[in-house]
């Protein structure tokens, strides 16, 4: 990728998957994403904005723990926050459809951006 060139999700996605190569990391991310979504629903239903704060902690806390202590890498959130968030939801979608393993194997065969 050339300097100054905009990172697209299509280019980011294989990188994101390679940064989540350990199945335990992916499981923790998925659990955190689901917990964060539940907190956002609670915020809407209860009209209590504190649930948004809890959602951030529920989503990012476990994910960052997994990166630092399981995967032993730096979260992509630090360099590509919006693409990383999209990656979390995309990963959840593939997991729910039973296609995540196939996506990971495909990404491991691709070149880094």
**Is there a domain that residue 13 lies in?**
no
Q: Could you tell me if residue 100 is inside a domain?
A: yes
Residue 43 in domain: yes
Q: How many structural domains comprise the chain?
A: 1
For residue 23, being part of any structural domain is answered with: no
Gap between the terminal Cα atoms of the chain: 6
pLDDT for residue 111 is more than 80 = no
Residue 94: domain span: 30-108
- Look at the block and give the residue holding tokens 């995309």: 90
- Is residue 34 in a domain? yes
Predicted TM-score of the model (pTM): 0.87
Q: Is residue 19 part of a domain?
A: no
Residue 7 lies in a domain: no
20-77: per-residue pLDDT in tens?
999 999 999 999 999 999 999 999 999 999 999 999 999 999 999 999 999 999 999 9
Q: Is residue 4 classed exposed, middle or buried when 0-12, 13-18 and 19+ CB atoms within 10 A define those classes?
A: exposed
Domain assignment of residue 42, yes or no = yes
* 6: confidence class by pLDDT, cuts 50, 70, 90: confident
Alpha-carbon distance of 99 to 57, in angstroms, equals 27
């Amino acid at each position: 990728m050339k300097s100054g060139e905009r990172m697209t999700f299509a280019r980011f996605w294989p990188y994101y998957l390679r940064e989540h190569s350990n199945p335990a990391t992916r499981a923790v991310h998925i659990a955190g994403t689901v917990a964060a979504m539940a907190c956002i629903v609670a915020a809407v239903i209860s009209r209590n904005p504190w649930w948004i704060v809890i959602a951030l902690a529920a989503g990012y806390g476990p994910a960052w723990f997994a990166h630092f202590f399981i995967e032993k890498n730096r979260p992509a959130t630090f360099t590509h926050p919006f693409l990383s968030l999209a990656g979390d939801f995309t990963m959840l979608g593939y997991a729910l459809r039973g296609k995540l393993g196939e996506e990971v194997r495909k990404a491991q065969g691709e070149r880094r951006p």
